[in-house]
Structures are given as C-alpha cells and as structure tokens.
Amino acid sequence: MSETLHVNLAERGYPIHFGTDVAAAVRAEIDALVAAGRKVAVVTDRNLALHQADALQAMFGGRPMLVLAPGEETKSLTELGRVLDFLAEQRIDRGGALFAAGGGVIGDLAGFAAASYLRGIAFYQVPTTLLSMVDSSVGGKTGINLKAGKNLVGAFHQPRGVFIGTGLLATLPPREFAAGMAEVIKTGLLGDAELFAQLEKTPCTVGSPGLGAVVRRCCALKARVVEADEHETAPEGGRALLNLGHTFGHAIEQATGYGCYLHGEAVAIGLAAAARLSWKLGYIGEAEVARIDAVLAAHALPVRLREPLPLGPLMGAMARDKKVRAGALRFVVLKSIGEAATRGGIDPALPEACFREVGAA
C-alpha cells in the first residue's frame, strides 16, 4: 500500500487505503477476519465479474460471492432482498463482514444491506469506478431508490475500511470514467479552487500520471466534511454541500427512470444548472458559468439534456428531494469557484428557468 488516509469518527473511524493494486491488502484484511473466526461474503456486479475476474480472485479467493446486474436499477427493494437472503443463506452472523466490490450502486446497496442485516454487520468498500472512489465509498451513506425518487431509503453506516486501487480503472469504459469526473469537478467547485484550476488547465484522463493524487485529494476533502457533519444535521452548509448539482441531477435521473443518464452525467448537467442558479442569485458571473461548462465539456460530460424533458416531472421530482425541509427546497449554490453554500427560500421560478436553460421543455 502506498498511502493511508484516516476518517476520524471516534469509534466509527476507519482507514482509506490507496494504491495501484490493493489486492494484497484486501486479502490480508480478509485473512485476519477469517483467522478471528468471522465469516466473510462479497457482493459485486456482472461487469466486474467479467472484466476483472483475476482481481476478484486475487482479493477474495473462494469466498461466497453474489453477482448482481450492473446499473442504477439494481438499487431497489427487490435487489436489497436478494442481498439479505444471500447473507442469511451464508449464515453470516453478527461477527461477519460484507465486502462491496464495485461502483456506487453496489456500495450503496451492499452497505444498506449490511446496515439492516441482523441490525448491522461490518462492511468494507472496494470501489472499482472513479465515481465510487472519489465519492460514494467514503462517508457511510448507503441506500436504495424508490419510484418516487433517488436514495429515499437508506442508513448512515460507516465502512470498516475502504480499499482504493486505481489500477482497476484500466477496464472502465470511457463514459463511466467521465461520469466519475463529474464528482471530481464537483469537489473542486465546492471546496478546492486549486483542483478546479488544475482540471481547467489539464483535463484528467485514466492515463494521467496524477490521477491517484486527484482521487486522494477528493477523498481527503470529503473525509473532512463528513467528520464535521457525519449525519448531515448542520443547519447550514456541512455535509449538504456535497450535494452540489445533485438536486437538479437526481431530478433528471428520476424523471428519466434511471436508465438514460449515468449518475455522473446527470450530476454534470446539474452542476451546469446550479452554476446558472448561482449566477441568477448574484453570487458568480457569466464568466464563471462559462468556465464551469467548459471544464465539464473538456471531460466529455454533458451540460445540456440530450433531449428535452417536460419541466413538470423534473420539478415534481425535485420537490421530493431529501434536502426538502418543512416543505421547502434547499439548494447548494456557488458563492465562488471553490466555495459553496446552502440556500433556502428560493423562488421556484429560478430553478425552473435553470432547467429550461439546460434543455427542459
């Protein structure tokens, strides 16, 4: 292992291990668990099982493994039931541990299953997509989607460890890598202006020599935010800032049935919309909006809807967002590039206008 970063949450704290190849570290963790008499199970997806079979074997050997279909549709009540039944079939007890090997869908689903099964067992994150490495594997947010909206069911359940091996990104499709870059760009916008400027100057690719450092930088910022506001209870700012672009993005995903846009693609359009909302509120100028659009486009991300979507369903989905308080929406806006804030009391006409400007009908 080359580096370790610790998420400081008292007894719930845990290490994030970084390296090109984390197979030996994962295997060592599993061996220690088994030596202590604890049972281990693994949840992954079909894409990883197909394209990274050797890596899965190196990490997990012959441990019981459930392979699920890839895609956002897997974050459902039905698939949650499959994971819970799998754990019961393997006779995992309260001393057992579940390893989530895959992208954000697998991490969110398996993490929620671990939080629910026997009222909570240990789980470990082995993220294999850029998006899950820089965002969803850190912080303990787990959950599934409902027809009514994204991530409306879930639990805060911190992993016992996160193992990030950037070598696993070699087989990631370009579209999936780009989707992950949306979360990297989001990180720069909300709290790291230097990172944003770096991406603006030199777009990041899977072959970039500094990719590992970028991943670690994103994890470090998220870890500090989570440490300060683990359960997103801060009246203003706090962990909610990590949702920059997501209020718009989640509405796009929900309105299109989770099958049209990858999460990062919807977030990218959401970032473009959030930039426009920030401009309309007088925080940033048109030049900053143009810079944000340009960085997103430079990383092969959309800044407009591919096809027009009706405004009604988008606003309806937004009204069911998790950040609604007392019936009113809160938005994450940019006070400047590198500084975000939460803002309520916004006239609905403004987000409507922003949606129209990114292609809503």
Long-range contacts of 89-95 (CB under 8 A, 24+ apart): 90/39, 90/41, 90/64, 91/39, 92/39, 92/41, 92/117, 92/118, 92/121, 93/39, 93/118, 94/118, 94/121, 95/36, 95/37, 95/38, 95/39, 95/121
Query: How far is 212 from 29, CA to CA, in rounded Å?
Result: 22
Query: How far is 259 from 136, CA to CA, in rounded Å?
Result: 19
251 domain residue, yes or no: yes
**331-336 and 339-343 strand pairing:** antiparallel
120 and 98, same domain (yes or no)? yes
pLDDT of residue 211: 97
What's the predicted TM-score (pTM) here? 0.95
Q: CATH number of the domain that 301 lies in? A: 1.20.1090.10
Query: How far is 141 from 279, CA to CA, in rounded Å?
Result: 30
Residues labelled as active-site residues: 119, 141, 183, 222, 232, 239, 243, 246, 250, 263
Query: How far is 80 from 109, CA to CA, in rounded Å?
Result: 7
Averaged over successive runs of 10 residues, the pLDDT of the chain (361 residues) comes to 86 96 97 97 96 96 96 96 98 98 97 98 98 97 92 96 96 96 98 98 96 97 96 92 96 92 97 98 98 98 97 92 72 98 94 97 90
329 and 190, same domain (yes or no)? yes
163 and 185, same domain (yes or no)? no
Closest CA to 168 of 138, 204, 113, 131: 131
240 and 324, same domain (yes or no)? yes
For residue 183, the enclosing domain spans 174-199+232-357
The conformation of residue 241, written as its DSSP 8-state character, comes to G
List pLDDT tens digits, range 180-198: 999 999 999 999 999 999 9
Terminal Cα distance for the chain, rounded:
50
57 and 128, same domain (yes or no)? yes
List pLDDT tens digits, range 249-279: 999 999 999 889 999 999 999 999 999 999 9
Q: 76-89: b or e for each residue (b if 16 or more CB lie within 10 Å)?
A: beebbebbbebbee
The conformation of residue 237, written as its DSSP 8-state character, comes to S
The conformation of residue 132, written as its DSSP 8-state character, comes to I
- Token code pair at residue 81: 């039931």
pLDDT of residue 329: 84
Could you list the beta-strand ranges (E) of the chain: 3-7, 14-19, 40-45, 65-68, 97-102, 122-127, 141-146, 149-156, 161-165, 331-336, 339-343
317 and 276, same domain (yes or no)? yes
Query: How far is 320 from 70, CA to CA, in rounded Å?
Result: 25
